[in-house]
Amino acid sequence: MTFPLIVFDLDGTLVDTAPDLIETLNVIFAREGMPPVDYDTARNLIGGGAKAMLVRGLEAEGRAVEPAKLQQMFDDFIAYYAAHVADRSQPFPGLHGALDTLAARGCKFAVCTNKLEGLSRLLLDKLALTARFEAICGQDTFAIQKPDPEILRRTIAAAGGRMERAVMIGDSATDVFTARNAKVPVVAVDFGYSETPVAGFGPDRLISHFDELPEAVAALISSH
């Protein structure tokens, strides 16, 4: 039987990246003479990739910029963030233990994120997590972003898994909808960056700590 494949979102699911992303956003805004976005507001802007975070941050400030200016801000954002990608970002509590337990049960792991693949790998390298994953796929890996289910399908294939033996783990409506569209069961974490409670989007299971993940995955794998 094919191994169970657990596919994780990255920001707000595997790793609490908000401190470094928000600092980067506010550094770029300061360069443009704009006030900082407060932490709680900025936390809810994460999840669609850096450019989406910039656009939403500008909207929160009641600002809009020309496409060329946005591209320059995006390039500056990526350059600064790459240099500070793991200054304060940390895996969420219980992650390592959950991965150990699931691996002992024969599970393998992949990452499917709207973060750029290079930044995702850089972050996971800095946190000594890269070797845990069979595949790490970002928005530029296949030029597809969540919630398009094709990015999840291709991530599963890249990891050597099979759709009928996969489970998605995420923190947002985007992750739930991606999994639903791909007909893959989904576990939502309630400690991520969803602007409204992720429970409202109808995940198959909801967890509040990674200690709960092995049981949730086992229930979905056995019923899938």
**C-beta pairs of 159-164 under 8 Å, 24+ apart in sequence:** 159/5, 159/7, 159/108, 159/109, 159/110, 159/133, 159/134, 159/135, 160/5, 160/108, 160/134, 161/2, 161/3, 161/4, 161/5, 161/7, 161/108, 161/110, 161/134, 162/2, 162/5, 164/224
Which one of the listed residues 9, 11, 16, 171 is annotated catalytic? 9
Quick check: 5 and 156 in contact, CB under 8 A?
yes
Quick check: 78 and 116 in contact, CB under 8 A?
yes
> Is residue 211 annotated as a catalytic residue, yes or no?
no
Residues serving a catalytic function are: 9
